[in-house]
Amino acid sequence: MSLASTRWQYLYFTPNKLAWNQERSWQILERYHRSLGSLLNFTLSLDVMGLSLRDLQEALYHLLGSVLFVSAINRVTIEAQVHMDSHRQAKLVQTPPILIVDGVWVDIQYASAETKVDRAGHVRQLRQAQDRVVLTALAVWPDGNHEVLHYEIAEQEDIQGWETFFAHLIERGLDPAAVELVVSDGSLGLPAAMTKHLPQAKQQRCITHKVRRIQDYLSYAQLPTQTEQGQALKPSEAKSQRRYQIQSDAYDIYKAEDEAAAQQRLAAFVEKWQALEPKAVKTFERDIKLTFSFYSFDELLHPRIRTSNLIERLFEEFRRKSDEIGAFPNEQSCLTIFFLVVQRDQAKHDRSSMAKN
- Model pLDDT for residues 186-220, shown as the tens digit of each residue: 788 999 999 999 999 999 999 999 999 999 999 99
Rounded CA gap, 209 and 313, in Å?
Answer: 14
Q: Which helix (H) or strand (E) holds 309?
A: helix 309-325
**94 pLDDT higher than 90:** yes
Average pLDDT, the chain: 82
pLDDT of residue 19: 40
- Three-class secondary structure of residue 278 per DSSP: helix
pLDDT of residue 25: 43
Rounded CA gap, 28 and 66, in Å?
Answer: 10
Rounded CA gap, 57 and 297, in Å?
Answer: 50
- Three-class secondary structure of residue 76 per DSSP: helix
**109 pLDDT higher than 70:** yes
The answer to whether 295 touches 255, Cβ cutoff 8 Å, is no
From residue 357, alpha-carbon distances to 87, 146, 326 in Å are 28, 16, 40
- Interval 113-172: pLDDT, tens: 787 877 777 777 788 889 999 999 999 999 999 999 999 999 999 999 999 999 999 999
- Interval 52-64: pLDDT, tens: 556 666 666 656 6
pTM: 0.78
Rounded CA gap, 319 and 316, in Å?
Answer: 5
pLDDT of residue 343: 84
Rounded CA gap, 59 and 64, in Å?
Answer: 9
| Domains, the chain | 11-88 (no CATH), 91-206+308-356 (3.30.420.10), 208-296 (no CATH)
